Chain A
């Protein structure tokens, strides 16, 4: 049941989802992989929307050069662990949400435990090695995986439902060459907000999602496109599903 305070706090979105939808959000547990540029936008909007359980994992410390895009942090946070600072900020944004920030590196040997019994995974990583781990974990646990990535003024996102849609490996069979990427902070906001919109719709069961569609954001020319994608039946990650 929603409390009086919650009914008031979420009044504007209850007009869209109904109290029933808001309760679904309250009962949902979302695993956020990364507390950088995407992770900042994602976790702020998840907390503000009233997602009941949020676990955010990042092992890094805050650097001055993070602050153009990692809007969870401010000047005085430089040098602190992202996890501790993120937890503090998000609890201030919404004290009703159960929040857990963990300062660890997501790896093969801990990913299953870190994701635990969470309902879905949202990707806020900056490398494909970890994205592949998360993709496989989502398939093994049969939970959705919300992919997002950015570079400069460009971004991409898709929603992966194991057994139903193309997975990350179907789209990107091999990791792209790694490179230091430039970022305009607002690009993280655009893609992170698209990922959160997808998550909220998935939880409240509304609308249609980016299943089997890769959304491409071209901020330089202010254009959005989409590409239809298909599952690969012989995919090494999801082919068995």
Chain B
């Protein structure tokens, strides 16, 4: 199956400034499998340098500062990293922004 990944802000920059990435996965793939593929094959890094600081996306296999939506829903409300993907699913990845 194919899913569409839409990265935003500096996560997009880290993935080569692509608005959408079509990722082929096996039919039983989960969000966890997708992230593994993005890290191994598409260069999604563990950390992104921002100015003079660093923004951590992963600590080991734990997602740190990245919101993951599947078809508009936060995966925390689905089955987290074990959320199953379907053909045509849209996955948005973006960093939370906190300051004011």
Contacts and interface: CB of A to CB of B under 8 A. Distances in A.
Interface residues of A, number: 47
Contacts of B94: 214, 216, 227
Interface in A108-147: 123-128
Given A174-B76, A176-B65, A182-B51, A155 B71 contact: no
Given A170-B77, A174-B76, A229-B72, A148 B10 contact: no
A173 B77 contact: yes
A41 B76 CA distance: 33
Contacts of B53: 182
B73 interface: yes
A179 B51 CA distance: 15
Interface in A145-190: 148-152, 154-156, 166, 170-174, 176-179, 181-183, 188
Interface stretch (A9-17, A23-31, A84-92, A230-238): A230-238
Contacts of B72: 166, 212, 227-230
A171 B65 contact: no
A52 interface: no
Interface of A: 34, 36-39, 123-128, 148-152, 154-156, 166, 170-174, 176-179, 181-183, 188, 212, 214, 216, 218, 220-221, 225, 227-230, 232, 234-235
Given A150-B97, A166-B72, A218-B12, 13 more contacts: A34-B100, A36-B100, A37-B99, A152-B50, A154-B95, A172-B67, A173-B76, A176-B98, A188-B100, A216-B9, A229-B69, A230-B72, A230-B73
Interface of B: 6, 8-10, 12-13, 17, 50-51, 53, 64-65, 67, 69, 71-74, 76-77, 92, 94-100
19 contacts: A34-B100, A128-B98, A149-B100, A151-B97, A156-B97, A170-B77, A172-B74, A176-B65, A177-B65, A178-B98, A212-B72, A216-B94, A220-B13, A221-B13, A227-B69, A227-B92, A229-B69, A232-B77, A235-B77
